Amino acid sequence: MSTQSLKLGFVGLGIMGTPMAGHLLKAGHTLFVHSRSSVPEGLIAAGATACASGQAVAQQADIVFIMVPDTPHVADVLFSANGVGAGLSAGKTVVDMSSISPIETKVFATKINALGCDYLDAPVSGGEVGAKNATLSIMVGGSEAVFAKVKPLFELIGKNITLVGGNGDGQTAKVANQIIVALNIEAVAEALLFAAKAGADPARVRQALMGGFASSKILEVHGERMIKRTFEPGFRIELHQKDLNLALASARALGVSLPNTATAQELFNSCAARGGKAWDHSAMVRALEGMANFEIGQNAP
């Protein structure tokens, strides 16, 4: 598959979708694109064809990728009057790389299958950096045969690519991922705030911790953001709120208690209440700083 040019579609060209679509183009594939906002000039210059609707994308492409913010957006992209579903014909494939409800994903897959088409849910982790560097982790739900067909394309945009199970299981894995990420951000924020308030240099504390059992990608990347106060997204707090809402709603349906996930969500809610919905999710530290009346980097009293 990787040696021949395929007709691909991509709907949703935001912070993540634009570089992901760009990697498919660079590999020599023909790309038809659509986005609620204008299609980035860089993609057009690289050879992408802008389409007026998701329907038009699906009419031209054999495999259509979707990368939009939330469950209702995917539903609209797929099933609106001029959506992707209206342009599909038997034998085509839809790959939703958004992070949405596992339950709704199963419903969407059933509807697409009824059109004679295949469906993969393939949410990603790695943020803007991973999208730009083609190092995203991709968690896939769907059949083994369809996964095998699309995997060479996944390899153009990601590194850690796993078929988790059937439709919906990719989204379940992503929700689990977002629980872990949120709780790690909270742990790093508490630790660095504690160290700074105690009078230690948080940058040196972070450096020391990077060599031990507390080391993590969150400590490496988001710990630095907290210290340097670089809270431009990245991954917006409002999107992580959405993911934790999925986690908490699913947990209620399953009869599972996620107490620390709920705490992390409340810290995000505090940031949002201060106008921080568009801050990077590492800015969760600001909620803790507010409770301490102390900011990392500030001289200890």
Give the residue numbers annotated as catalytic, written as ranges.
174
The four Cα atoms 66, 70, 71, 76 give a dihedral, to 10 degrees, of: -60
Task: List the one residue out of 214, 63, 231, 223 whose CA is nearest residue 149.
Answer: 63
Compute the C-alpha angle 186/187/192, nearest 5°. 100
Ordered DSSP codes for 70-127: SHHHHHHHHHSTTSHHHH--TT-EEEE-S---HHHHHHHHHHHHHTT-EEEE--EESH
Residue 186: count of CB within 10 angstroms of its CB:
21
> In sequence order, which ranges of the chain are alpha helices (DSSP H)?
17-26, 41-45, 54-60, 71-79, 84-87, 102-114, 127-133, 144-154, 169-197, 202-209, 217-228, 237-254, 259-273, 285-292
Yes or no: say if 97 and 71 are a contact pair by the CB < 8 Å rule: no
Query: Over the Cα atoms of the chain, what is R_g?
Result: 20
